[in-house]
Structure formats: structure tokens, C-alpha cells
Amino acid sequence: MGINHWNDGEILLLKENYQSKGLRWCLQRLNRSKMSVIIKARRLRLRDYTVFWSPEEVSILKDNYKFGARYCTKLLNRNYYSIRKKIVSLRLKLTKEEILKVYSRMGEDRWKNLSETEKNKFLKRAKTANFEYIKTLKKSLTGKKRITHQGYVVIKDYDHPNRNDQHEVFEHVKVMSDYLGRPIKDGEIIHHINMDKTDNKIGNLYLYPNNSEHKKAHMDVSKLMKQLLDDNIIIFKEGKYYKNNI
């Protein structure tokens, strides 16, 4: 079967429309598979900005976020949730006056004419409205799990004392910390007894005071493995270890 090469017309269509109109639009006009279009776009260094944020969009958001997320939806042709999420990820912060203008719908001139008592009153309401979204977002994300490339389970937790900069904590750390009723101290190592990093039940965890003691446990396992191999209880075949059933 011959290779279906891209012709000049197809490449031109992709270059002119992929970034502005997106993958779905291009698929409807090119008689090619989704993977074929994605790979070609990557080779041409094109990015689907209907999904990803372009540098121009980020710049517009930074210049106009002070006027509110709903105002930015008209400028960027994106939904309200997408814009609020991007504001949070970029860590854009409003000044007191900007908060007030966004949530009280006041102009700068009217703000200047308010008394200090009125300013404080509106400012309190504005702050409550501004941080309510952050509070809701944190609540929705708390407890979500993922597995790291090293095979450990991490949980989203904004309040745990052992959390990292991404507000995530290892599940085995959280389980042991909850069991002990205190945070895990620097230097303490939690060991998975059955070597399964995803099995984070308290019965499968053991707390070592330092890494030196933890290494000794792994050395013991290596010694036991040698004995099992010498006794032919475990065999090594084609790059893997097997239990010898003979």
C-alpha cells in the first residue's frame, strides 16, 4: 500500500486554518485521519489555539481581566469558566480598586466620591465575591487523585501540612499522617511492605525514622531474593522473575 503524501493544497489549508479554526474544522475538509492531521501540524509547528491559549489571547486577558471574566468572554470568544480558570492559573490578582470596579460595577469617578465607610462596605462585598470562585474551585479539586511517573498516588489537598507547591500530597504520606495524628517529619520515610506503591492501606505502610533504616529493609529484600534464587523457589527467565512451580 502506497504512502498518501500531503499535497501543496492540503498543507496550505492546514497552515492557514489549523491555529485559528482548529483540528475539528480541518478534519471536516481534509480526507485524512485525525492522527495524520495532528502529526502533520506538529511537524509544521502549528498549534490548535481553539483548545490552547495563544500568546495573543494571554496578553489580551492580562490587559483586561481587571474588568471581569464576563467582559473578557466577549473579547476572546471563550466561555466564562475557561477564562476564570485561566485567570487562576496565571495567578492574576486584582487591586482593591479593581476588585471593586469588577464586582460592584462602579466607575472610577463614582469610587472617588464615596466616603471611607461606603468604600469599606463595598470592598468587603467585592472581596467575598472575588474569592468565592477560588473557594468553589478548591472544593471541586480536593481529593482528586493521579499516579506519578514513579508509580506513586498523589491527592489534591490544599490544607495538608505535607502538601507540595502544586497542593498535592502523596497518598501514603496522607494515610500515615492521619493515622499518627501529625505531619510526617523531614527525613522520615514511609515504606510499602508489599512493594506495591499504589497499595496505601495503613496495614501495608511502615514508618522509618530515616532513609538509612529504609535502605536496610531494601537490602534485606535483596538478600532474601538471592536465597530464593539459590533455592530455585524463584527463577529468572527472559528478563523477568517467576515463581518456580516445579
Q: What is the pLDDT of residues 95-134, one digit of tens each?
A: 656 665 555 555 556 666 667 676 666 666 655 655 555 5
- Residue 12: inside a domain, yes or no? yes
In whole angstroms, what is the distance from residue 99 CA to residue 122 CA? 10
Query: How confident is the model over 238-244, as a mean pLDDT?
Result: 81
CB 230 within 8 A of CB 244: no
Give the domain range for residue 32.
8-43
Q: Does residue 141 have a pLDDT over 80?
A: no
Q: What is the pLDDT of residues 143-174, one digit of tens each?
A: 889 999 999 999 988 889 999 888 899 999 99
Q: What is the pLDDT of residues 202-231, one digit of tens each?
A: 999 999 999 999 998 888 888 888 888 888
For 205, phi then psi, to 5°, come to -115, 145
Q: Are residues 69 and 36 in the same domain?
A: no
Q: Are residues 132 and 219 in the same domain?
A: no
Domains in the chain: how many in total? 3
**What is the reported pLDDT for 244?**
81
- Residue 50: inside a domain, yes or no? no
Q: Are residues 107 and 123 in the same domain?
A: yes
Last residue of one domain, picked from the residues 114, 141, 168:
141
| Closest of 85, 91, 81, 83 to residue 61, by C-alpha | 83
Q: Are residues 30 and 109 in the same domain?
A: no
Q: Are residues 169 and 182 in the same domain?
A: yes
What is the pTM for the complete model shown? 0.46
Q: What is the pLDDT of residues 51-85, one digit of tens each?
A: 778 888 889 888 887 777 777 888 887 777 778 87
- Residue 1: inside a domain, yes or no? no
**What is the reported pLDDT for 84?**
80
In whole angstroms, what is the distance from residue 192 CA to residue 116 CA? 59
| Closest of 71, 2, 13, 20 to residue 40, by C-alpha | 13
**What is the reported pLDDT for 124?**
64
